[in-house]
Amino acid sequence: MAASTPAASRERRWSLAGKTALVTGGTKGIGYRVHSPPSPEALVAAARAALGGRLDILVNNVGQTLFGAAAACAAEDYARIMATNLESCFHLAQLAHPLLLGAGGATASVVNISSVAGFIAYPALSVYSATKGAMNQLTRSLAAEWARDGIRVNCVAPGGVRTDIAGSSGVALEPGAARAMEEREAARVAMGRIGEPEEVASLVAFLCMPAASYITGQVICVDESVLSRGRLEECRGRRRKGSSVSYLEKEACLGWALCVQEEDRIYFGALELEHKSRMAAASRARRWSLAGKTALVTGGTKGIGRAIVEELAGFGVRVHTCSRHDADLQDCLRRWNAAGDGGGAAALVTGSVCDVSVRGDREALVAAARAALGGRLDMLVNNAGQVVVGPAAETAPEEYARLMATNLESCFHLSQLAHPLLRNAAAGGGAAASVVNISSTAAFYAAPHLAVYSATKGGMNQLTRCLAAEWARDGVRVNAVAPGATRTDICDTSGVALGEETRRRLADAGAMDRVPIRRIGEPEEVAAAVVFLCMPAASYITGQVICVDGGRTLL
């Protein structure tokens, strides 16, 4: 995507109108929710003819599963699963490449449908899991190779989702066995339910949008934070005491009445039936809407933070933000309010002065946000951050302490302070609340002279996963967005004066020849990922760290 991204309208960045797509396996389950079956060559030829010779999007969704002991797997079963799940993905991508190459206006997109089985071990699913692990790495490799062609390649890895993949794979399961599998999967996840096809399809659609133009090579799980067997035992113990479990359980008209009395089958079944009915009733417009929601965004007057504030406000969210400097804050508030005269979205922004490295300031910030937002908080975006650049051996203790307090402690403490508000919003609003932490790709690769900064972001990533697992029962989803090189002034705002040697090392670490898309990112491209993660459309995504880096972490 060209550097004109900031000038593009919000409507255009969030629209797929007029685009063309080929979706394999589109008559059932996940594929039906996003929409072929002779040879791959015939399929692509048919799509070319039907779509007027143009193809913007390829979704490799078709797949089959194979249950059984690895030692007993027949050679023909192995070959069939490999051909269906993996070879077809590669071959169709090859065949579609010339058409995707010719798509005009914006980058074309390939999205492969993988599985959490590519990450965690499932007994009796070794061959299926191997195909998904291979697909994940194929995604990364194609993303690195095809970025120069203007083609982004990403992967969506669903957890347990309500589909009939076993039946469509020719696997006959007794009703009791199928039900038991569903219950076991529900017990492994933090929210205590399996996902719906629409929740996977929403992420696929987002990854194809211009709003996701700096995201490539990512494998994103839609799995509601898969947990261990201990989750089920904990739920059982809390149900015996009659204590609250989660907002979903409380609002389930049948489920809450039964869950403290009945066995797991009724308990989880009631939750899932209730959720399915809510999903069916929710229109596409509602799943992609944030109108009327409230958010606290730290560090919202510059760079990525300002883009997040403006994107949220543009979706009708009432935002409270902060800055260390009152002059910067007032300047932004004046500009936003001027843009919002006559009821515009920008008039929904309020702010207060806060140094997030100071504990008392953080407490005052949450109190100010509570007052400004009418006592309700649906979203927290921990964006404020600073950088310390220099040799690790020469980092002063006060620099270390300041960076840890600003980047990591503030993220944890503000999440703690916001938790009661977020939990209450989820319980009363019918949709999960959301925390999004702004991390960095510096947590994934080593950059000279950024040791402490990188450590804070690595800590933030693991904190994100842990809070996601712990707070899902409260209806609070927690994710992180990790930008790569982005057009901001973080060094200047951190008071960092870079020496010539440090500048040279950083320039080498972030050289554009290591970024497959071959350009720096824009704040709006990071903001779009944050906004999507806050939407009901992302309701089954938690504990994920999504890199918005043009593919930098691939190389």
Question: How far apart are the C-alpha atoms of 270 and 179, rounded to whole Å?
Answer: 13
Contacts of 74 (CB under 8 A, 6+ apart): none
Question: How far apart are the C-alpha atoms of 56 and 47, rounded to whole Å?
Answer: 11
CA atoms within 13 A on the CB side of 548: 27
Asked if residue 55 lies in contact with residue 43, where contact means CB atoms within 8 angstroms, the answer is: no
- Of 128, 247, 267, 453, the active-site residue reads 453
Q: By C-alpha distance, which of 149, 152, 214 is closest to 485?
A: 214
- Which parts of 406-546 fold into alpha helices (H)? 410-429, 451-471, 490-493, 500-509, 523-534
Place of tokens 């529900």: 186
DSSP code at position 293: -
Question: How far apart are the C-alpha atoms of 416 and 471, rounded to whole Å?
Answer: 11
Question: How far apart are the C-alpha atoms of 223 and 539, rounded to whole Å?
Answer: 10
Asked if residue 323 lies in contact with residue 509, where contact means CB atoms within 8 angstroms, the answer is: no
Report phi then psi at 373, rounded to 5: -105, 15
Residue type, 552: R
Q: State CA 126 to chain mean position distance.
A: 27
Question: How far apart are the C-alpha atoms of 537 and 195, rounded to whole Å?
Answer: 12
Told to judge if 453 belongs to the known catalytic residues of this protein, a careful annotator would answer: yes
Residue positions annotated with a catalytic role: 453
